């Protein structure tokens, strides 16, 4: 595997379910990100992890719970979601180089909440 | 705060036409600027970048020049192909302690007809 991988690629869940999204980066990067991409809205940054520590949480509802057990893996735990949470969830990773970061994205998980 | 404004889409062109997608930004300090492309059903791919004023990023026939005086980073291609049909995102990263956080424009849908 190369780059950034995400599983599953598609997920349908009911509002009372609990599920997790997984992201794995094979690039040796030290920062990872979760984004939400909804139709007709700009990409929204949800969480940032740097060196496995959460450094940013952009007012995301508590029904989304991130976890970063090591620098290569990032999870997004989901519970009691709402239909408006249906979206494409993108994971990205990056490495600081000379003060600049270049983010590499995974293919995303298409989430549908019914 | 930081913001990115892209020209409204969608943009529809014939093959071999000239492409310009306008992007302007507001940021503190000296941001790095990026263009990302998203093909149908996929995540975002970095297309090109520029990290300081007057830098020109280029890749796959696409070019963009970092213009500090006009706070712009317009994307151009001299002759588009059907395979260039995708959504294009302009983005900036302010660096510093932002851990590479990207601020995205709303995206511009490009459709190229044979």
Chain B partners of A6 at a C-beta cutoff of 8 Å?
Answer: 43
Q: How do residues A27-56 score in pLDDT, each as one tens digit?
A: 999 889 999 999 878 888 999 988 777 777
Handedness of CA B18, B45, B28, B7 (dihedral sign): positive
Task: Determine the 3-state secondary structure of A88 from DSSP.
Answer: strand
What is the rounded average pLDDT of the residues B99-114?
A: 89
Q: How do residues B37-58 score in pLDDT, each as one tens digit?
A: 999 888 899 999 998 899 999 9
Cβ within 8 Å, pair B95-A99: yes
pLDDT at A73: 96
Cβ within 8 Å, pair A105-B43: yes
What is the rounded average pLDDT of the residues B71-90?
A: 97
pLDDT at A54: 78
Q: Which of A41, A98, A103 sits opposite B100 (nearest CB)?
A: A103
Q: How do residues A50-78 score in pLDDT, each as one tens digit?
A: 877 777 777 899 999 999 999 899 999 99
Cβ within 8 Å, pair A108-B49: no
Q: How do residues B2-47 score in pLDDT, each as one tens digit?
A: 899 998 789 999 999 999 999 999 998 788 999 999 998 888 999 9
pLDDT of B95 strictly over 70:
no
* B63-67 CB contacts, 8 Å cutoff, 24+ apart: B64/B23, B64/B33, B64/B35, B66/B33
């Amino acid at each position: 595997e190369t780059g950034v991988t995400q599983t599953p690629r598609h997920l349908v869940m009911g509002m009372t379910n609990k599920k997790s999204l997984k992201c794995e980066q094979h690039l040796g990067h030290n920062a990872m990100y979760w984004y939400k991409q909804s139709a007709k809205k700009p990409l929204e940054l949800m969480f940032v992890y740097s060196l496995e520590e959460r450094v940013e949480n952009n007012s995301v509802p508590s029904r989304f719970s991130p976890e970063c057990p090591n620098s290569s893996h990032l999870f997004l735990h989901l519970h009691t979601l709402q239909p408006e949470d249906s979206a494409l969830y993108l994971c990205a990773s990056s490495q600081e180089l000379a003060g600049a970061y270049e983010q590499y994205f995974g293919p995303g998980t298409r989430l549908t909440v019914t | 705060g930081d913001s990115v404004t892209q020209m409204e889409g969608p943009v529809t062109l014939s093959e071999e036409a000239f492409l310009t997608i306008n992007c302007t930004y507001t940021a503190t300090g000296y941001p790095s600027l990026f263009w990302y492309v998203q093909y149908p059903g996929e995540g975002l791919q970095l297309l090109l970048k520029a990290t300081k004023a007057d830098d020109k990023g280029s890749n796959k026939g696409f070019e963009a020049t970092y213009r500090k005086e006009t706070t712009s980073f317009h994307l151009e291609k001299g002759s588009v192909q059907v395979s260039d049909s995708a959504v294009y995102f302009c983005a900036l990263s302010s660096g510093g302690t932002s851990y590479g956080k990207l601020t995205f424009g709303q995206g511009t849908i490009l459709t190229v007809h044979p």
